[in-house]
Amino acid sequence: MTEKNIDLKIKLIHGFSNKVRLQILECIKEKEKTVSQIVEELKGNQSNISQHLACLKGCGIIVGRNEGKYCYYSLRNERIRELLEMFDTVLEDVHSDVACCANHVD
């Protein structure tokens, strides 16, 4: 794998490496939602959520669809949904190790 591909992979993984971004992804995993719906469900700050949505969209993880005055956000495709589900599957296998890992603390 080339250095450029490694750097791109790091950027992609970075999109998943934040608590708020993961919460957003889980929030829209099954159904597209507006910013207001996401903010309400996550009980978050609209400005903060919007910044994270921009990051996710910029990384190509989500897409936005305009309808009237609303923008609906959803996962880019089924592969992103499968990746989120794979995270859960792998986590089941390594849960106790991850829980004890002192290298990555919030």
- C-alpha 1 chain-centroid distance: 25
Distance, CA of 96 to CA of 91 (rounded, Å): 9
Residue 8 within a domain = yes
Residue 105 within a domain = no
Residue 57 within a domain = yes
Distance, CA of 94 to CA of 88 (rounded, Å): 10
Distance, CA of 87 to CA of 43 (rounded, Å): 24
Total domain count, the chain: 1
Residue 106 within a domain = no
Closest by CA to 23, choosing from 62, 59, 60, 72, is 62
Helix (H) or strand (E) holding 93, with range, is: helix 78-100
Q: What is the pLDDT along the chain (106 residues), one digit of tens a residue?
A: 899 999 999 999 999 999 999 999 999 999 999 999 999 999 999 999 999 999 999 999 999 999 999 999 999 999 999 999 999 999 999 988 888 888 866 5
Any idea what the CATH number is for the domain that residue 39 is in?
Answer: 1.10.10.10
Task: Say which amino acid occupies 25.
Answer: L
Domain extent, residue 29, equals 3-100
